[in-house]
Structure formats: structure tokens, C-alpha cells
Amino acid sequence: MTKARKALLEVLKTSKEPVSASHLIQQPSIRFDQATVYRNLHYLEEQGMADSFILHCTDHGTERYYSYRSRENGEHHHWFHCQSCHRFIDLGDCQYDEQLSRWEQAYGFTICDHTFFLTGLCKACKSATASAN
């Protein structure tokens, strides 16, 4: 594995929330140009070591976020993004196996992978909004 891939994978493994490529480029341990970062993120995703999703945010625009995915067991996480404070909350590993199986049976397709994230207001922002009214 190349130095760039190792460095990116280490940041993804230790990150507590999904990160954008622009955030990764700013990390001291990532000493690679933008094209190298994007190319290697794409490689890590193709190899099953990273997940990504595109988030449309009114404050930050549209950006792709990346998180670590275990290649050994496919373990991945689902996320909640607060539209107000922009914090991500880890919803934990996947708990949707039964629902995915029901969809496969009901619609006759085979699910190979999925991405799941929610957007809304976190508890603190929701409380702040309610108390302001």
C-alpha cells in the first residue's frame, strides 16, 4: 500500500465523523496534493476500505464525505448530520439486515451495498430553537 493510501486510511480510521477531501488535505499527516488525495480516496473506496456519501448543505454547499469501512467484515456506520451546528453523530454500525432482506424479497432485486445518513436538527440545536421561540 502506498504512503498516501496508508496516511489517508489512518486518518479515516481515527476520525470520529465523516471527513471531506478538503478537510483531509488540511491534515498535517497528509502531505499530498489534491489530485493524489482524491485518486487515493477513490481507490480506498473501490477496495472496500472507505465509504462516501454526498451531503447537500445550505451553509457548506455540496460535498462528498468519507469514512472508514472495515474490509474484513464490511462493518460500516450510518450518520446523522445537524443542519444547524453541522456536527455529525455516529448512528453506529448497520442494523438494517432484516429490512434489506425484506426489500430484496418484496422487489426481487439483490442489494450489494447501501449508504444511509439522516439530516435534521440535533437535540441541542432543537432545544435552542424551541427556547428561542
Furthest-apart CA atoms within the chain: distance in Å: 54
Cβ partners under 8 Å of residue 131, min gap 6: none
Average of pLDDT values for 8-14? 94
Q: CA 42, 47, 50, 56 torsion: positive or negative?
A: positive
Q: CA 129, 55, 45, 31 torsion: positive or negative?
A: negative
Architecture (CATH level 2) of domain 3-132: Orthogonal Bundle (1.10)
pLDDT by residue (tens digit) across 76-121?
788 999 999 999 998 877 778 889 999 999 999 999 888 888 999 9
Domain extent listing, the chain: 3-132
Mapping DSSP to helix (H, G, I), strand (E, B) and coil, where does residue 131 land? helix
Higher pLDDT, 132 or 5: 5
In the prediction, which pLDDT does 3 show? 94
Mapping DSSP to helix (H, G, I), strand (E, B) and coil, where does residue 72 land? coil
Q: Is the pLDDT of residue 9 over 90?
A: yes
